[in-house]
Amino acid sequence: MTQNLSIQNITAHYGTTKVLEDLSLDIAEGELVSLLGASGCGKTTTLRLVAGFLEPTSGTIELGGKDLTRLPAHQRNIGLVFQNYALFPHLSVADNVGFGLKQRGISGEDKAKRVGAMLERVGLAHLADRLPGALSGGQKQRVALARALVIEPPLLMFDEPLSNLDAKLRVDMRVEIRQLQRANGTTSVYVTHDQEEAFSISDRVAIMHAGRIMQLDTPEVLYQRPANAFVARFVGFENLIPMKVVARDGAKVTAEMAGGVKLTLGLEHFGAIPDSFILACRADGLAVTDNVNLEGIPATLGLRTYLGRAYQYQCETGAGLLLANGPLTRPLDIGANAKLVPVPEQCTILAPEAEA
């Protein structure tokens, strides 16, 4: 019943503005893939293309091997959950959920049974006769979910479904969505701008920017091994230090950064290191020490902030301002000289950014 989604070389325009460029995306049966990015990155456009509310300029969309590209929206059989719920205000909760069944010619006993079972599953059986106007945000979202699930679609799509809910409810609802999706094994596309939400709910996440997918991978890989500088910044690598190799000695590589600081990096951690690269790490990946004899980046410490698990310092270095964390046991003062020592396990090597 559940099917794989295959998007191949899609290009799309709004008027003359290109909003998607040669985008390809394959989603396996039963997989939940999030499209993550800032507004205007093309994630919602992708969803609307798959739903059939927009036509691509070129490229194909296939669901379970069947070409959908030119099929009208109402023939696509895709469950959609909208940001604003899009519940029919003139229909009761039960009629909203039964709407899709009615279109499929299912009525009477059969329809009532399926609607009842679905409302039971989302915990709203007692509200079946209410109008949507009388429901809370969370309840509305559950109705929307039930309405999309009851037609047993081979593909479910979510368009920022939780962005109108408060923080606590958001966390509860995403667990609920994930559980329902797992239980049904429905292939799903989940559009969001919330990184934590995407990472917590998805099998894989596509990070999008300017109409392209910058990286598509599991949350673990994205978080630890971003493929490029854009994704690295997006997932919170505060320090991106451009470097050039000056010497290679077996498993050790010596590289230099702006300001003439040299670091020795071991190939066992980083694999191959190109002649020109970016050393990327979070503040956690740069350890602050007042032992200036250690090998590291010489720095003058600036503002110190307390993070609970560590102190974070604004550090003035030859390579510019870097963020680094130091132990709670030894708070250091503004103006102190220190060394920033990269922690190899928490650093990664990226290709240099193209000149803008």
Partner 1 sequence: MKRFSGWTLASPATLLVVIFLVLPVLATIATTFMTPAGPFATYTSFFGSGFRRTVLWRTIQISAITTIISLVIGFITAFVVSRAPGWLKSILIIAAVFPLLTGVVVRSFAWLIILGKNGILNSTLLSLGLISEPATMLYTQGAVIVAMVYLFVPLMILTLAGVLESIPDDLIQASASLGARPVATFMQVIFPLAVPGLIVGAVLVFTGSFTAYATPQLLGGEAQMVMGTLMYQQAMVTFDWVSASTIAAIMVVITIAVVLLMTRIARRLNPMAV
Partner 2 sequence: MTNKLHPALIAFTVLVFFFLVGPLVIVIGSALSDTTYLTFPPQGLSLRWFENIFQISAFRRTIITSLQIAFLSTFIALLIGIPAAYALNRYRIQLPGWLSTLFILPVLVPELVLGFSILKNVAAQFSAPIFLSLVIGHSLLVLPYVVRVISASLASFDFSIEEAAISLGSPPLKTFFTILLPNVRSGVIAAFILSFITSINDVSISIFMTGPGISTLPIQILAHMEQFFDPTVASVSVLLMALTVAVMAVVERTLGLTFLAK
Binding site for partner 2 (CB under 8 A): 52-55, 72-73
Identity of the residue, 69 or 77, whose beta carbon is nearer to partner 1 in the bound complex = 77
Per CB under 8 A, contacts with partner 1 among 54-113 are 72-80, 82, 84, 86-90, 99-100, 102-104
Q: Which is nearer to partner 2, 72 or 335 (CB)?
A: 72
Instruction: Choose the contact partner of 90 out of partner 1, partner 2, none; CB within 5 to 8 A by kind.
Output: partner 1
Q: Which residues does residue 298 pair with via DSSP β-bridges, in sequence order? A: 339
We find the least distance from the C-beta atom of residue 94 to partner 1, in angstroms, to be: 14
List strand residue ranges (DSSP E) for the chain, in order: 5-14, 17-27, 32-36, 58-63, 66-67, 78-81, 155-159, 187-192, 204-209, 212-217, 239-249, 252-257, 262-266, 276-281, 286-289, 297-306, 311-317, 320-326, 337-342, 347-350
- For residue 130 the two structure tokens come to 């209410």
Q: Residue 55: which of partner 2, partner 1, none does it interact with, CB under 5 to 8 A by kind? A: partner 2
Binding partner selected for residue 54 from partner 1, partner 2, none, CB under the kind-specific 5 to 8 Å limit: partner 2
CA distance 356 to 353: 8
User: For the chain, where are the alpha helices, taking DSSP H only?
Assistant: 43-51, 93-103, 108-121, 137-149, 167-184, 195-201, 219-224, 229-234, 267-270
Shortest Cβ 53–partner 2 spacing (Å)? 6
Contact of residue 133 among partner 1, partner 2, none (CB under 5-8 Å per partner type): partner 1
Binding to partner 1 (CB under 8 A): which residues in 114-143? 131, 133-134
**Which CB atom, from 72 or from 108, has the smaller least distance to partner 2?**
72
- Identify the burial level of 86 via C-beta atoms within 10 angstroms of its C-beta, where 0-12 means exposed, 13-18 middle and 19 or more buried: middle
In the complex, the residues that contact partner 1 under the rule CB under 8 A are 51-53, 72-80, 82, 84, 86-90, 99-100, 102-104, 131, 133-134, 147-148, 151
